Amino acid sequence: MASLTAITALGGITAYDETIGGIRIAEIADTCLASLAMRRGRMADFEKAVGKVLGTDLPAPGQRAGTDAHGVIWMGPDQFLVEAETGATDLAGRLAASFGAAASITDQSDAWVRFDITGKDVPAMLERLSAADTRLMQGGAAVRTPVHHMLCVLVCRDAYIGFTIYGPRASAQSLHHALTTAAASL
Amino acid sequence: MTQVNRLDGGLIDREAPLDFTFDGRRYGGFAGDTLASALLANGVRLVGRSFKYHRPRGIISAGSEEPNALVELREGARREPNSRATMTELHDGLVARSQNRFPSLGFDLMGINDRFSAFLGAGFYYKTFMWPKAFWERVYEPLIRQAAGLGALSGDPDPDVYDRGFRHCDLLVIGAGPAGLMAALTAGRAGAEVILVDEDFCAGGRLTMERESVGGLSGNEWAAQAAAELAGLPNVRVMPRSTAIGIFDHGIYSVLERVSDHLPVPRAGTPRQILWRVYAKRAILAAGATERLIAFDNNDRPGIMQAGAMRAYVNRWAAAPAERIAIFTNNDDGHRTAADLAAAGVEIAAIIDSRPDAPASNIAELFAGAVVSNSSGRRGIGHVTLRLADGGRKHLSCGALAVSGGWNPNVHLTCHHRGRPQWQEDIAAFIPGEGVPPGLAVAGAARGIFSTASALADGRDQALAQLAELGMKVKTAPLPEADDAPVTITPLWHVGGTKRAWLDQQNDVTVKDVGLAHQENFRAVEHLKRYTTLGMAGDQGRTSNVLGLAVMAELTGKTIAETGTTIYRPPYTPTPIAAFAGRSVGRDFRPTRLPPSHHWAAEQGAVFVEAGSWLRAQWFPREGETHWRESVDREVLATRRSVGVCDVSTLGKIDIQGSDAGAFLDLVYSNMFSTLPVGKTRYGLMLREDGMVMDDGTTARLGETHYLMTTTTANAVGVYRHLEFVRQCLRPDMDVQLISATDSWAQFAVAGPNARRVLQVVVDPQHDISNEAFPFMACGTISVCGGVMARLFRISFSGELAYEIAVPSRYGDAMIRALMAAGDAYDITPYGTEALGVMRVEKGHVTGNELNGTITARNLGMAKMVSTKKDSIGAVLAGREALVAEDGLCLVGLQAIDGDNVTAGAHLFAEGTPVDPAHDEGYVTSAAWSPHIGASIGLGFIARGADRHGEMVRLMNPLEGRSARARICSPHFIDPEGERLRG
Amino acid sequence: MIIEHPLLGPRDSQEFTCLGDASLLQRPDASADDAAETFFDYQYLRDNPAGTHRELWYHEMGDRSWLVVTRDTATHEILAVELASDVVTAGGRS
């Protein structure tokens, strides 16, 4: 039996990428994601492993920590989303091995659709979709908030001009529709 | 096309002439005109007919308070009734029509209502159309609706889009008049994040409409300069054509921006209007004031308007309402109006100043201590009658009458948290009182500070105070020099007479109506409002409320302060429902969730159904099938005969980990999960604390500290919320972590006698899925199709030998294609939610239909699943006496006989009993045509059902007038012993 | 309304769902002899004050925290916001 062919959250073989006016909307299909939740009472082990495995301190609420390639996003009390760029196979498995009983780890690579939104009009577009004050978000800020009624994670990569939106994968088409409509309506 | 009343000057662009039509006639105007100013410039005074009496009406104001000049704009689907001509920016080709007239504005048949006005006073329809009773709905109301009301909707879907948005700021300034501009300049220069909104299309407020100087420039030039400076500040956003319509808790403001109303058609993709939700740390209301009229007999004739509006038309729009104009005033604004009009070359017929000590005038003949007591003229004012100080009468001819009764501060937004305006005697007006929303300050005319100089100072000072509260230190900037005349007014509300004197022109409420309300004891202001409809029109009584309650105060002998005002509520100005809906219309009403096999299902021509926010395949029609039942029956039979496949990814999946995961599940499920072996799946029943069933599903134990729970599709969100409640609010001591895995997995049910054979093709050979190695209720992590990680669960909803196989969502599309290819030899059949439903009814599995919030485990015949060996949510209250009664409802199967149909919702009655609530024994929850049984079957609850298998019952559906007979049976129509699923 | 989330700062109440009276944090002991009565009170008897009220709010469209919001029901003024898990832990029940 031949191996299975993956499709992107929007249903393509290749990821969607379009520029509308001053805004580029790009689907990023190859980010590896894992949920990382601290086991109760394992703070010391957990923080140590975060530093060792991910090379960063834990992010404060509303923040993302780490490098471009490897990041940790605060999702809730004692709960984080680890993101790793292309090529990080079995991220969840590797984390599980490193964290042992200090963390609960769940693969999330297929739970989200990721859109990267860049351009000078990004805040004008996002203010139609989200109550987050994206004009004042600095690089590294990350907020879980509704984007056109869908619970998303908004990550600021580059203040004012570069954002990532993680949305529920099953709602990829609705989120994409909301983004492109907003971009075209400025 | 001559603009007969067009003067020189003004803030219109004479290089940009525009054409428009009104009631089919072509007229000309200029960029910068409103429809109202252009109509006046063209000598059009009569613009509409009134709501009830169909009286001829003209333009009264130059702003959003306009009660009369309501017109229909545009054509076709964009036809929009009740548009205020005073707020309509002229664009080339604008099409406008008058409303509430037939056959024409000049000759209106319903004008006869005016003759019968004696019968049509306040509350007439409560008294007049009492009987026969049946006539109200069928005769009177339709007739009244036909005769009353203003324009009509097109009836077509609105072709434009509306949007919503969110903005944040340190300081929101509402109104760009002198106070608002000065506040925005002060805060903007200090570096604060400022949003300045104004409903006009250019900044300045009254500064654009008066002849005065500010800082050595004309008021308008100063305003333009201030607006330009603000536009250049990166921390300031100026929003013209934007009205703050409401204030909500904790600094949330609704602002309606009319993005495209001034264009013939919105630019491609852009919205017509945007409803902004503005989050402001502090706000300043600088909404100015509204001039009120003075009531006298026949004071509603076209040509009678606010004095301030008349100055606006002359100064800003270079449009004179008439060649010869009289002025009626109780304050100095009348004299200012005379000066402005005379300077523009308009002839002043006279100044009628009700104050005996009126200042002398060198502009026109002055009648001090006199009043206007009546007007006359056909379709517009031609003469006024004066009652002079000595009691004598005098007639004056004039083409228009400017009336100034003083100014009411626009306090409306300060009332949105039940603020109560307070009376200020020296300006004879209400100003903001107690209950102004926290964080909101009021500046300038909106709090009764009327002169330009004091409004500028107040705007600056209020901004400084607001910034100080935010901890921002700001240097005080010098103010531009400006006019600083004091207010001198002697209140005059209405001139006594014998005819009708209008208070509320939009709802046709007169002084007499207030008298009637008083006579019938509707004297409190809120009663007065509802009895007479005073202030209930689209303008919320901005030109009429204070007049009405002043009249009531006179009648009751109370002061106006004691009488008080009604409460103003959002929206401040009429707001289209479409703006509230925004983009949430049609298919965009809410986001759609698509299962991983959606694209494949669409290729197969599946019919889709909305299941919550999911779009699921309902059935897969084949060529030649003309009725949905054909497709569904085929899918059911093919699955039971050989094998079928269905996307079940929509079921909620919650990943539960932690050393206390088992104990946690023991608490949230009524049955035991800590004892479940790794590699096994168990059916779980989840109760609410009141003992009713909340949800059910299977939960698999993937590892020692790792479970995967499934929920019903409908309850996925609610169950997750409940689990977080238990985790955070009841047992934060437990080591348990939750995360939704619903979107992560594409999960397919493969069901039927050949299910294993199909799976064996896709499952990698190192995994033994034989009945021995992978028995019923087994689960495990495997790989498929050469190494793709997958999870396999041996569970069955259909009652057949069945598995659910899950792969990461990205492989879902490929997986369904692989399963279809693997099952080709077995005639594998994809089935949708209908066949899924039929098969679960045949098997007697319950879903949301049965778990309706009133059903206990005992009702389901699952009393033994509520463990008594442990504490679980709902266990205690499930044991209440009435819930464990022996004669309680019990789940049964129902099989219709004699070709009858079982219908869900029907109630169950024993044979020979009366059909009444006393004999109601239960009800039907689910119904289906069973191709397996060859009959209509269903599930339902009936008292003592377990003991009544074989008994006949009647299914009564009085709502639809249907009844049927059915035999009670086991809910397990197929394979009651469960041999198939274990095979 | 704006709810001052103890970890995330001001957030629009539209992101939350409200469950009601925070007395739901005090789930009775199911093994006690009077469990039937205490659970009945716990489930059905709630105060509904015009004034200060402690309520449970869930940040459903956010970080999924359950919060105890102390709110004046007459004015909507919010007096305090705490993580429910902190309240329970501090209450010595865990």
Average pLDDT over residues C46-75: 96
* Substitution target from C5, C11, C63, C81 for chain A, most A beta carbons within 10 A: C63
User: What is the pTM assigned to this prediction?
Assistant: 0.94
Inspect the interface and report whether the beta carbons of C64 and B724 lie closer than 8 Å. Answer: yes
Percent pLDDT > 70 in chain B is: 98
CATH architecture entry for C2-90: 2-Layer Sandwich (3.30)
Residue C94: pLDDT above 50?
no
Chain B touched by A4 (CB under 8 Å): yes
B820 touches chain A (CB under 8 A): no
If you average pLDDT over residues B794-817, what whole number do you get?
97
- Kindly list the residues from chain B whose CB atom is less than 8 angstroms away from the CB atom of residue C88: 728-730, 732
- DSSP 8-state symbol, A132: S
**Å from B233 to nearest chain A CA?**
15
Domains present along chain B, CATH in parentheses: 162-289+409-469 (3.50.50.60), 293-405 (3.50.50.60), 492-585 (1.10.10.1100), 598-649+744-839 (3.30.1360.120), 652-740 (3.30.70.1400), 886-982 (2.40.30.110)
- The CA angle B812-B816-B817, to the nearest 5 degrees, is 115
B655 touches C at CB < 8 Å: no
Q: Distance between CA atoms of B926 and B852, rounded to whole angstroms?
A: 12
- Token look-up 């088992």 returns B662
Interface test with C, best of B730, B740, B880 (most C CBs within 10 A): B730
C14 touches chain A (CB under 8 A): yes
What pLDDT sits at residue A88? 62
Q: What are phi and psi of B890, to 5 degrees?
A: -140, 140
Q: What residue in A sits closest to C67 (Cα-Cα)? A: A77
Q: Does A44 touch chain B (CB under 8 A)?
A: no
Is A174–B657 a contact, with Cβ atoms under 8 angstroms apart? no
B277–A109: do the CB atoms touch at under 8 Å? no
| CA nearest neighbour of B532 among B542, B519, B543 | B519
**Token pair 């029509």 in the structure block, residue:** B97
Per-residue pLDDT tens over the stretch B212-231: 999 999 999 999 999 999 99
What is the spatial distance between Cα B351 and Cα B708, in angstroms, rounded to a whole number?
Answer: 86
Which residue of chain B comes nearest to A169, CA vs CA?
A: B743
Residues B559-578 pLDDT 10s = 999 999 988 999 999 999 99
For residue C5, the chain A residue with the least C-alpha distance is: A61
Q: How far is A67 from chain B (nearest CA, A)?
A: 25
pLDDT value at residue A1: 45
* pLDDT number for residue B112: 73
Tokens of B287: 């909404």
What gap in Å lies between CA B908 and CA B952, rounded to an integer?
A: 10
Q: How confident is the model at residue B934 (pLDDT cuts 50, 70, 90)?
A: very high
- Confidence check on the interface: ipTM exceeds 0.85, yes or no: yes
Q: Which of A23, A33, A110 to mutate to probe the B interface, most B CBs <10 Å?
A: A110
Partners of A133 on chain C (C-beta within 8 Å) are none
Query: What is the distance in angstroms between the Cα of C49 and the nearest Cα belonging to chain A?
Result: 31
Lowest mean pLDDT among B352-361, B398-407, B528-537, B627-636: B528-537
The answer to whether the CB atoms of B745 and A181 lie below 8 A apart is: no
Beta carbons of B730 and C88 less than 8 Å apart: yes
Q: Does the pLDDT at position B147 exceed 70? A: no
Nearest to C61 among A76, A77, A145 (CB): A145
**C78 interface with B at CB cutoff 8 Å:** yes
What is the pLDDT confidence band of residue B128, given thresholds at 50, 70 and 90?
Answer: low
Q: Is C18 on the interface with B (CB under 8 A)?
A: no
What are phi and psi for residue A107, nearest 5 degrees?
-60, 130
Task: Flag whether pLDDT at B472 surpasses 80.
Answer: yes
> pLDDT > 90: what percent of chain B?
88
Block means of pLDDT (10 residues each) for chain A, length 186 residues?
85 96 96 96 94 93 92 97 81 93 96 97 96 95 96 97 98 97 96
Q: CB of B418 within 8 Å of any CB in chain C?
A: no
Chain C positions touching B251 (Cβ under 8 A) are 2
C76: left (phi over 0), alpha (psi -120 to 50) or beta: left
Cα B326 from chain centre: 45
CA angle C34-C37-C41, nearest 5°?
135
Closest chain C C-alpha to B440 CA, distance in angstroms: 15
B358 pLDDT above the threshold of 50: yes
Task: Report chain B's mean pLDDT, rounded to a whole number.
Answer: 94
pLDDT at B122 over 50: yes
Residues of chain A with Cβ-Cβ distance to B591 below 8 Å are 148-150, 171, 174-175, 178
Using an 8 Å CB-CB cutoff, list chain A residues near B277: 131
Query: Which of A151, A152, A166, A171 is the best mutation test for C, with the most CBs of C within 10 A?
Result: A151
> Quick check: B807 contacting A, CB < 8 Å?
yes
- Three-state DSSP at B967 gives strand
DSSP single-letter state for residue B669: B
Q: Closest chain C residue to A153 measured between Cα atoms?
A: C62
Does B250 contact C35 at a Cβ distance shorter than 8 Å? Answer: no
pLDDT at B16 over 90: yes
Angle, vertex CA B117, rays to CA B116 and CA B120, nearest 5: 100
Of the candidates C2, C42, C66, which has its C-beta nearest B724's C-beta? Answer: C66
**Do C13 and C1 form a contact (C-beta atoms < 8 A)?**
yes
Three-state DSSP at B870 gives: coil
Q: What is the mean pLDDT of residues C48-61?
A: 96
| Minimal-distance CA residue of chain A relative to C13 | A131
Selecting from B248, B732, B880 the residue whose C-beta is nearest the C-beta of C89 gives: B732
Q: CA of C85: which chain A residue's CA is closest?
A: A77
CB pairs under 8 A between A and B: 154
Given an 8 Å threshold on Cβ–Cβ distance, is B277 in contact with A131? Answer: yes
| Residues on chain C touching A77 (C-beta within 8 angstroms) | 7, 63, 65, 83, 85
B883 touches chain C (CB under 8 A): no
Provide the shortest C-alpha distance from residue A68 to chain B (in Å): 24
Helix B545-556 crosses helix B525-532 at what angle (to 10 degrees)?
120
CB contact under 8 A, A2 and B588: no
The answer, for C84 touching chain B at a CB cutoff of 8 Å, is yes
- Residue A172: closest CA among chain B residues belongs to which residue? B593
What is the model's pLDDT at position A86? 67
Say yes or no for a CB contact (<8 Å) between B784 and A168. Answer: no
Question: Do the Cβ atoms of A141 and A156 come closer than 8 Å?
Answer: yes
For A80-90, b/e burial (b = at least 16 CB within 10 A) is bbbbbeeebee
B875 touches chain C (CB under 8 A): yes
Handedness of CA B754, B756, B761, B762 (dihedral sign): positive
Residues 6+ apart with CB under 8 A from B605: B620, B621
Q: Measured between CB atoms, does C85 come within 8 Å of chain A?
A: yes
Provide the pLDDT for residue B52: 84
- Per-residue pLDDT at B104: 81
C-alpha to C-alpha distance for B809 and B748, rounded to whole angstroms: 11
**CB-CB contact of B54 with B110 (8 Å):** yes
- Would an 8 Å CB–CB cutoff place A178 in contact with chain B? yes
Nearest CA of chain A to the CA of B593: how many Å?
A: 5
Mind listing the pLDDT tens digit for each residue in B415-445?
999 999 999 999 999 999 999 999 999 999 9
Q: What is the pLDDT of residue B131?
A: 67
Q: What share of chain C is helix, strand, coil (3-state, %, to 5)?
A: 25, 35, 40
Chain pair A-C, CB pairs under 8 angstroms: 33
Judging by beta carbons within 10 Å of its beta carbon (0-12, 13-18, 19+), is residue B33 exposed, middle or buried?
Answer: buried
Which domains does chain A possess? 17-29+112-184 (3.30.1360.120), 32-107 (3.30.70.1520)
User: Distance between CA B169 and CA A135 in Å, rounded?
Assistant: 10
Domains in chain C: boundaries = 2-90
Sheet of C52-58: strand order equals: C17-21, C52-58, C66-72, C78-83
Rg (alpha carbons) of chain B, rounded to whole number: 37
Chains contacting B (3+ CB pairs below 8 angstroms): A, C
Q: What is the mean pLDDT of residues B719-745?
A: 98
How far does the CA of residue B285 sit from the closest CA of chain A (Å)?
Answer: 23
Q: Which residues of B touch C78 (CB under 8 A)?
A: 250
Task: Tell me whether C62 touches chain A (CB under 8 Å).
Answer: yes
The tens digit of pLDDT for each residue in B674-731 reads 999 999 999 999 999 999 999 999 999 999 999 999 999 999 999 999 999 999 999 9
Residue C23, class by beta-carbon neighbours within 10 Å (0-12 exposed, 13-18 middle, 19+ buried)?
middle
